Structure 1
Amino acid sequence: MSELQTNKPIFPPIRACIFDVDGLLINSEDIYTEIYNNILHSYGKPSLPWSVKAKQQSRGRSGMLQLLDWAQLPISYDEWTAKVASQYELFRQCHPLPGVPALLSDLSSKTTSAVHIAIASSATSKTFAIKTSHLPSITSAFPQKCRVFGDDPAMRGSMHTWGAGRGEVRPEECLVFEDSVAGVEAGRRAGMRVCWVPHVGLRGVWRGRESTVLEGRSDEVEEGDGVIVGDGEQEGNKEEKKQLWSTDGWAEMLMSLEGFNYEQYGIQMKQG
């Protein structure tokens, strides 16, 4: 993987961070795959490859319909979702991904100027509770008013709340943390900076075309144009750079959130 060249503009310091949950804060994407495979195997179907999961991930009903079209199961969408929900107890095995507890702790209490943090996830508040009720390093970092889920009827962000008394947070002062391609697209469309931390399987699927994702142009890619280079798991085992930037400097890709570089985002940490 060659490092992308970038001409980064001068950005203001980051004042707010928005986090996805599944596959970014916790290992729930692996558990979703386990659940999907349990169902697939019960019908004699093969395991779900990342080349298919990449098209389904974080794309709601339309993404799941693509998965079902690939699987050719003799059940409806509603029957599939019911079978998935029946295995939600597996999410009580979730754990934080590398670097997450330290990052949330630092942003919550160790910056010289306040950096507001929030969750924005297409998952429901109910599944979030199942996945994280045993993980205080995550639940304690996000006040209820700074959590937005797919079952929130308003589906509104928290930038106005963050900016109360301090001036509204502008999009370019906000950093979005995402693991999915769809999440990167959404962050870029919102005019926010993006940190993409994809699963090793997803990295394999997009190997050699990372710039397309980082620049928010993955929706321009048509199926069959050569982007899907493998099943992900095999491709993800090759030697990789630890960091890549988009050519315009608005997005970067990291292997994990361990040792996050606050300085490059203008975030100053307290001494000692």
Structure 2
Amino acid sequence: MDGTVLNSEVIYHKMINELCGKYNRVYTKDLQIRMYGVTDREICETVVKELKMPISIDEFEKQLTDLAQKLLPSAPLQRGAERILTHLHDYKIPMALATNSTEQAVRLHAAVRPKLFGMFHHKVSITDPAVRQGKPSPDIYLVAASKFPDKPQPQQCLVFEDSAVGVTSAIEAGMQVVMIPDPRLDREHTRRATIVIQSLMDFKPELFGLPPFDDTPKRCDRVDTS
């Protein structure tokens, strides 16, 4: 979800930077890159400990959650996300959302874009009872696959990811991965992906046995949050 469907990673880092500045701490670029794809709780634990924040991890997480409720719904879609989701949905290709974000965060985004998020057969978050560990463990993707009616084998599943943490999760689950990395990510962190593209607009479905794009893909709704 974050960084793949939605350009919400940028908002997350702005929120964290704002909280750090509130306590005269600097949220460095290096630390930002390390936080791509990890859970909210892991972000809070790492930032509080490494920057020696004068508040507890729980308090930092509470403040981050409060900011998220206000700012996350304004996250724009990633380039090409609407196109590919609509295309696969039109061709009845089963899709699931598998995210290290919480169910609450998923609901926030789904409330803003109900039709888009309604294209997913189901959604699996870090707070799903069946998920023991978040990415980079394979749990989230294995649970997501198990919830499709036909119970596909891992090798039948194709994952879209933007982070090295997510790619590791998918590879460990035995799935193929299309990676759309943040341009600041070191190339070394992209090597395990099946294929690497600059944006979802560059994805060619036919490479994976999926129907090629139509010339005029349909568009879905978008709620103006400005």
Residues 124, 150 of structure 1: 8 Å contact kept: yes
Aligned pairs (5 A) from 1:129-148: 129-143=107-121, 146-148=122-124
Distance in 2 of aligned mates of 1:25 and 1:73: 31
Distance in 2 of aligned mates of 1:63 and 1:270: 37
How many residues align structurally? 203
Distance in 2 of aligned mates of 1:76 and 1:90: 23
Give the ranges of 4+ consecutive aligned residues of structure 1 lying more than 6 Å apart after TM superposition: none
Distance in 1 of aligned mates of 2:165 and 2:3: 13
Higher helix share: 2
Q: Which residue of 161, 165, 186 corresponds with 1:182?
A: 165
RMSD of aligned residue pairs (Cα, Å): 2.1
Is 1:162 the counterpart of 2:148 in the alignment? yes
Residues 205, 213 of structure 2: 8 Å contact kept: no
Corresponding residue SS for 2:96: strand
- Highest RCO, 1 vs 2 (Cα 8 Å, sep ≥ 6): 1
Q: Which residue of 2 aligns with 1:262?
A: 205
Is 1:121 the counterpart of 2:102 in the alignment? no
Q: Which residue of 2 aligns with 1:18?
A: none
Is 1:214 the counterpart of 2:181 in the alignment? no
Q: Which residue of 83, 96, 100 corresponds with 1:102?
A: 83
Where do 5+ consecutive residues of structure 2 fail to align?
132-141, 216-226
Residues 197, 203 of structure 2: 8 Å contact kept: no
Corresponding residue SS for 2:204: coil
1:2-60: CA deviation from partner (whole Å, max 9, x where unpaired): xxxxxxxxxxxxxxxxxxx01111011111011101111111222x2332122223333
- C-alpha displacement at 1:147, in angstroms? 0.8
Distance in 2 of aligned mates of 1:43 and 1:271: 51
Distance in 2 of aligned mates of 1:130 and 1:271: 31
Residues 94, 120 of structure 2: 8 Å contact kept: no
1:198-226: CA deviation from partner (whole Å, max 9, x where unpaired): 2223x2xx14x24xx432xxxxxxxxxxx
TM-score, normalised with respect to structure 2: 0.81
Where do 5+ consecutive residues of structure 1 fail to align?
1-20, 216-245
